[in-house]
Structure 1
Amino acid sequence: MPLDIITGLQRGDEGKGAIVDRMLATGVYSWNVRFQGGANAGHTVTVGDQKLILHLIPSGVMHKKVELGLGQGMIIDPFGLREEVEQLVKLGIDVINRLYVSSGAKLVMPWDKMLDWAIDRVRAKAVGKKVEEGGGVATTQRGIGPAYANAISRDGITVAQLIRPKVLEKRLEVVVPVINCTIRGLQQELGLSNDELPEISIAEAFEQLKPIGEWLTPMACQLHNLLRESLMSVSDKWVLAEGGQGRFLSVDALCSYPSCTSSITTSNAVFAGLGLEMKKEWIGKIIGVVKAYQTAVGNHPMPTYIGNEYQAQIQEVGGEFGATTGRKRDCCWLNALELREAARFCDVIYVTKLDVLTNIPLIPIATALVLNDDPFTELPETWDEYMQCHPLYGINMPGWTGDISGIRKTEDLPRQARIYLAKIARITGKRIIGVGVGPEREQYCT
């Protein structure tokens, strides 16, 4: 049966988890799977009066009849995964018996986080700044970049290798000397001692990793075979694939590189990230999620930054603080150039957090950018050029007032809110299938 896909069309934090939750509540899905990224994404799960922030386990964890999968395109921190599982088990949520981890997934090793920290400081040093001043990429420090880099350079470790002690020991004998060469170079460049940035001991690494491999063994599997079985069946149970981050954090987004994540975040990555062959009949809906405004954390080109009193208002009302980093998100008006580009990767649109813009008197949308006094309507090809751009607001529309959180039909929204949605649909060329008007599962319009 079909594989439906949910991806973000901005820079992450679009509210994809809430959409996944609503879709799984329909009861038509048997699987909720992730296909890329790692613990650099985050979503909040509410259990009674407690809130958990999960970074690896898919958003459907609260749906007890849904199987959960972590695909081979992911970079998985096994220690972080164990921590998430243990938190859920303490709250009485059965996850161990329905969590399936691809044996082909690469792993974030303890040294990857250390490398992440050090490498960003080398970048900052090269431009004469501190990381905190925007000198580096401002990564989440969760080891994602080094882990992906090691995977591509064939110096990574897979789930399959981790859960086999003899294989793991031999693998460490090859990998650790390579990592230590990098560490010694970083020590020299940053003037750090071995105590501050220690080299890796093969024996100590094995003793640290062997127990986590034993813990992970019951969940490790050839996930792609299980998914193929579901997709090829005649049952009415579907697969829902959930992307992390968003289009403009994708490593293949020209205008964002290198201020991006280390994986391809769009629907293009789904089949490879799940280890599946691409079959047209398996593709269901590709749903792109767009927040009614834009946000970003870190050193990103955001020409539509809201530089007035509404910045703090949107941050507060929208709860714009990173689930992974805790940092305040920069809030920006919509950028039509980005919307058009991102919409190429989806069939339909879901707009979230429309309610956050309530009571803002004038809402602009950038329809062009200006670089060196020249206006243009295509995104720049480099991050450097994009950082120098200024917006041209071709759309400036009056806002709306009143509480819209109780509205369930799009046609019942205030007229100006409907006009705003119509402009998003016209810019993207995609049909809007849902509109979020509040944080709760039932607070959305169709």
Structure 2
Amino acid sequence: MVCSIIVGGQWGDEGKGKIISYLCSEDKPNIIARGGVGPNAGHTVTIGDKKFGIRMVPTGFPYREAKLCIGAGVLVDPDVLLKEIEMLKEFNVKERLTVDYRCGIIEERHKIEDREDKHLSEEIGTTGTGCGPANRDRVLRILKQAKDIDELKDYLGDVSEIVNDALDEGKDVLIEGTQGTFLSLYYGTYPYVTSKDTTASSFAADIGIGPTKVDEVIVVFKSFPTRVGAGPFPTEMSLEEAEKLGIVEYGTVTGRRRRVGYFDFDLARKACRLNGATQIALTGLDKYDKSCYGVREFEKLSDKAKEFIEKIEDITKVPVTLISTGPEMKQIIDLRKEKL
């Protein structure tokens, strides 16, 4: 039995979807459960020549043998969720998905308020998906729950019971966290943060498992971190500099261009401590050093790339076990057997 949590170590957009897809194909978990805030986090899943922009369904959906769960701590926008279920019908998501009956519900009024609030929309740079106002109503104990929505009745269940039963039976569980550590309401660059905590501890609570049930916490870092919206970014480079490096990216949910920066080693160390990281997954190494594109053996990496990885390990005291060297799922170096 292994229970693993995947966490973004920066400001989101670290490439968690690629890492999750790889882990699903290799480790074949019995359950893939989504924690996090809600539909304000977007992930792009590429399958062959098709791209799927996902905001609610767990991004491990292409692995058809796993049950899919959305934990009680996640906010659900029924319109977004039902559209995704329909979009992903070829993957039998409808038959595999359980939504915890205690999930909070985002209503249209929450989205309107999110977009029209000048502080949230203009100063903070909110995604406008209604998550902040909905979480406020949750704290006030006036928010509707999934059990109150007729359209969701076919998907309702107790995710905490499902996941804990699976772990008791010796099954494998993969928990997907969303956003990134420094968008945490508690530990991020407040007030330029999301509306709840986004570290591993909260993702476990979102699903309904205790900390002693967690075996691995994999923190994902991007070689050149990015950020969407306002807020501090100590190592940010100019857009012109990013273009010279060939790094031009846009947010999945908002379509806004992502700000780009250099790797921040001190921030990486902090992220590992906040999450209790046991492993690091490093993405975009091919952008750090183009000679590493598609490399699948550590020994074949350039000296520049090896020194970069060794410095990350030296400063964070956490092993880099997964190294992405390109966009395709097979373009990855897996060092877990050697380092764990």
TM-score bracket for this pair, using the shorter chain length: over 0.9
1:272 is the counterpart of 2:201: no
The separation in 2 between residues aligned to 1:296 and 1:308, in whole angstroms, is 12
Structure 1 residues 409 and 102: CA distance shift in structure 2, 3 A: same
Greater mean deviation of Cα atoms: 23-32 or 428-437:
23-32
Contact 1:102/1:221, CA 8 A, preserved across alignment: yes
The separation in 1 between residues aligned to 2:48 and 2:270, in whole angstroms, is 40
The separation in 1 between residues aligned to 2:2 and 2:134, in whole angstroms, is 32
1:246 is the counterpart of 2:180: yes
Residues 223-257 of structure 1: CA distance to partner in whole angstroms, max 9, x if unpaired? 111111101003xx300001000100011115x11
Letter of the 1:298 partner, please give it: G
The separation in 2 between residues aligned to 1:303 and 1:271, in whole angstroms, is 29
Q: Counterpart in 1 of 2:114?
A: 116
Q: Counterpart in 1 of 2:264?
A: 335
Residues 153-192 of structure 1: CA distance to partner in whole angstroms, max 9, x if unpaired? 1120101122xxxxxxxxxxxxxxxxxxxxxxxxxxxxxx
The separation in 2 between residues aligned to 1:160 and 1:33, in whole angstroms, is 19
Letter of the 1:415 partner, please give it: D
SS in 2 for 1:51: strand
1:160 is the counterpart of 2:147: yes
Q: Counterpart in 2 of 1:51?
A: 51
Following superposition, the deviation at residue 294 of structure 1 comes to 1.3
SS in 1 for 2:68: strand
Contact 2:73/2:206, CA 8 A, preserved across alignment: yes
Q: Counterpart in 2 of 1:228?
A: 164
SS in 2 for 1:46: strand
Residues 255-303 of structure 1: CA distance to partner in whole angstroms, max 9, x if unpaired? x111001121111113321123x152x2211100000121101111012
Q: Counterpart in 1 of 2:97?
A: 99
SS in 2 for 1:26: helix
Letter of the 1:313 partner, please give it: K
Following superposition, the deviation at residue 403 of structure 1 comes to 3.2
Contact 1:137/1:299, CA 8 A, preserved across alignment: yes
What is the number of residues matched between the two proteins?
A: 332
Q: Counterpart in 2 of 1:425?
A: 313
Following superposition, the deviation at residue 118 of structure 1 comes to 1.8
Q: Counterpart in 2 of 1:257?
A: 190
Alignment of 1:295-374 (within 5 A): 295-307=226-238, 309-314=240-245, 317-344=246-273, 345=275, 346-358=277-289
- TM-score (structure 1 length as normaliser): 0.72
Q: Counterpart in 1 of 2:30?
A: 30
Q: 2:300 aligns with which of 398, 401, 412?
A: 412
Q: Counterpart in 1 of 2:332?
A: 444
The separation in 2 between residues aligned to 1:49 and 1:9, in whole angstroms, is 29
Following superposition, the deviation at residue 8 of structure 1 comes to 0.5
Contact 2:223/2:263, CA 8 A, preserved across alignment: yes
The separation in 1 between residues aligned to 2:159 and 2:258, in whole angstroms, is 35
Contact 2:3/2:215, CA 8 A, preserved across alignment: yes
Following superposition, the deviation at residue 348 of structure 1 comes to 1.2
The separation in 2 between residues aligned to 1:216 and 1:309, in whole angstroms, is 46
Following superposition, the deviation at residue 313 of structure 1 comes to 3.3
The separation in 2 between residues aligned to 1:141 and 1:53, in whole angstroms, is 17
Contact 1:297/1:328, CA 8 A, preserved across alignment: yes
- TM-score (structure 2 length as normaliser): 0.94
Letter of the 2:193 partner, please give it: C
Letter of the 1:222 partner, please give it: D
Among all aligned residue pairs of Structure 1 and Structure 2, give the percentage whose two residues are the same amino acid. Answer: 31
Contact 1:354/1:435, CA 8 A, preserved across alignment: yes
Following superposition, the deviation at residue 143 of structure 1 comes to 0.3
Structure 1 residues 335 and 355: CA distance shift in structure 2, 3 A: same
Letter of the 2:164 partner, please give it: R
- Consecutive unaligned residues in structure 1, runs of 5 or more: 125-130, 163-212, 359-401
The separation in 1 between residues aligned to 2:331 and 2:248, in whole angstroms, is 16
SS in 2 for 1:338: helix
Contact 2:248/2:257, CA 8 A, preserved across alignment: no
Contact 1:318/1:353, CA 8 A, preserved across alignment: no
Following superposition, the deviation at residue 308 of structure 1 comes to 6.8
The separation in 2 between residues aligned to 1:48 and 1:308, in whole angstroms, is 30
Following superposition, the deviation at residue 48 of structure 1 comes to 4.4
The separation in 2 between residues aligned to 1:350 and 1:292, in whole angstroms, is 10
Greater Cα radius of gyration, structure 1 or 2: 1
Following superposition, the deviation at residue 407 of structure 1 comes to 1.3
The separation in 2 between residues aligned to 1:15 and 1:111, in whole angstroms, is 32
The alignment's C-alpha RMSD in Å is 1.6
Q: Counterpart in 2 of 1:63?
A: 63
